[in-house]
Amino acid sequence: MQRQKIDAGATETFGGIRVVRTFARSRSESSRFVREGSFLVRQQLFTWWWTRIIETVWEVIIPLASTGLLLYGGYQIIQSELTLGDLMMFLVYLTMLLDPLATLAGSAVGFQNNLAGLDRVLDVLEIEEELPSRVEAVTLDRNRVEGKISITNVSFSYPGSDTMVLKDISLEVNAGETVALVGRSGAGKTTLTNLIARFYDPDTGSIQIDGRDLKDIQLESYRRLLGIVEQDVFMFDGTIRENIAYARRNATDLQIAEAARAAAADEFINALPNGYDSIIGERGVKLSGGQRQRLAIARAILADPRILILDEATSNLDSESERLIQHSLADLLKGRTAFVIAHRLSTIVGADKIVVLEDGRIADVGTHEQLLSRVGHYRDMIYLQMNETVPAITSS
């Protein structure tokens, strides 16, 4: 357990090395690692000493026991109360008894370590499959999927929490519609998309695609329909080509280049010394936030998903890059059911349906024009972005 704790702490520290350096915590993190390592070494030395003591005790007991038996047996033979054959038999039996015990004693520490490893293996085996599907779950044919999403009376709280993040959410999304999710931070926008992607199952209610509950669909089959671009983009340590083609391993170089061009990423890629074969480092550390986001959009474009989820997908882009990519996103959204989390007016205004979330509930639903004509959070947010005073609505 101590070794596991040290490894987990070191992995976390190196993963957040920029934060550690920013707050000048390098020395304290090093000291923590040394303290934990020193404690582990002391534990190992303590165990080693006890192992040596046990081994020494047994190495002394076996010869002493044999010697004692010989002396006692010899005396019994002299007294004619025991034969030489009986003595040899007892010596053999004594050896047969003590040798296995000595082996067990010498391997006691290793045995305990193996038991600890077995305990971890059993813990892993006891973990249920990620969101297990029902026995009668089916495999979807993506060519026959229309993409209609029905959310019915969905409530949800994260495991281990008593706080309801979503409360009685009901929403009908037609195939090919683009739905913008807006609301304050913590309103439940990302949580709702996580349920749609089936990273979690709702506590109550159901989510259906084309009239079939997600639990009745093989999880891997459903995930093949999805394309997700998150605000916190994750990139693998490899080439740009490998990262774009991650969701479609058989993609040709031409298809990869077309996806990059559609995501307005080809310009900076071609400017790199090795182009598409450039190594971007762990988590894409060699690229800027906007460049990583464009690669993530290119990856989604290449995957050709039936259901698309964009979680602040253009938040790290400057105005010029966003303008270049808006046309590509419009083409990407055509014919696909899409859920877009955004705060920028340019991303929201073209949505077929805008859903306003407040405190885990749907506060309002409508188009941009409809919501702008009604008093509410959406109207306040739009005028705040435009740095204008919210006009009062007069009744006619």
CATH number assigned to the domain comprising residue 253: 3.40.50.300
For residue 106, tell me if it sits in a domain. Answer: yes
For residue 390, tell me if it sits in a domain. Answer: no
Whole-angstrom Cα Rg for the chain = 33
Total of domains in the chain: 2
**Of 102, 126, 150, which residue is a domain's last?**
126
If asked whether residues 327 and 181 sit together in one domain, one would say yes
If asked whether residues 249 and 314 sit together in one domain, one would say yes
Interval 87-130: pLDDT, tens: 788 778 877 777 777 676 666 656 666 766 677 677 767 766 56
> What is the DSSP track for 307-350?
EEEEESTTTT--HHHHHHHHHHHHHHHTTSEEEEE---HHHHTT
Interval 342-378: pLDDT, tens: 777 767 777 889 998 988 899 888 888 888 888 777 7
For residue 136, tell me if it sits in a domain. Answer: no
Q: Name the residue with higher pLDDT: 59 or 275.
A: 275
If asked whether residues 159 and 279 sit together in one domain, one would say yes
If asked whether residues 265 and 291 sit together in one domain, one would say yes
For residue 148, tell me if it sits in a domain. Answer: yes
**Of 92, 126, 160, which residue is a domain's last?**
126
If asked whether residues 147 and 120 sit together in one domain, one would say no
Q: What's the domain range around 21?
A: 2-126
If asked whether residues 118 and 201 sit together in one domain, one would say no
Coil/strand/helix, residue 287: coil
The burial class, CB within 10 Å (0-12 / 13-18 / 19+), for 259 is: buried
Closest CA to 202 of 167, 174, 228: 167
**Of 126, 152, 184, which residue is a domain's last?**
126
If asked whether residues 67 and 92 sit together in one domain, one would say yes
The pair phi, psi for residue 156, each rounded to 5°, is -155, 140
If asked whether residues 117 and 160 sit together in one domain, one would say no
Coil/strand/helix, residue 365: strand
User: Under a CB-based contact definition with an 8 Å cutoff, are residues 234 and 283 in contact?
Assistant: yes
Q: Name the residue with higher pLDDT: 244 or 131.
A: 244
If asked whether residues 271 and 154 sit together in one domain, one would say yes
Other C-beta atoms closer than 10 Å to the C-beta of 328 total 19
Closest CA to 276 of 322, 241, 325: 241
For residue 105, tell me if it sits in a domain. Answer: yes
Coil/strand/helix, residue 91: helix
Interval 151-203: pLDDT, tens: 999 999 988 888 889 999 999 999 889 999 988 888 888 899 999 989 888 99
Coil/strand/helix, residue 167: strand
Q: Is the pTM of this model over 0.95?
A: no
What's the rounded Cα separation, in Å, for the pair 365 and 386?
21
CATH number assigned to the domain comprising residue 85: 1.20.1560.10
For residue 87, tell me if it sits in a domain. Answer: yes
Closest CA to 25 of 12, 37, 36, 38: 12
Coil/strand/helix, residue 396: coil
If asked whether residues 63 and 174 sit together in one domain, one would say no
Closest CA to 336 of 306, 300, 297: 306
- pLDDT at res. 150: 94
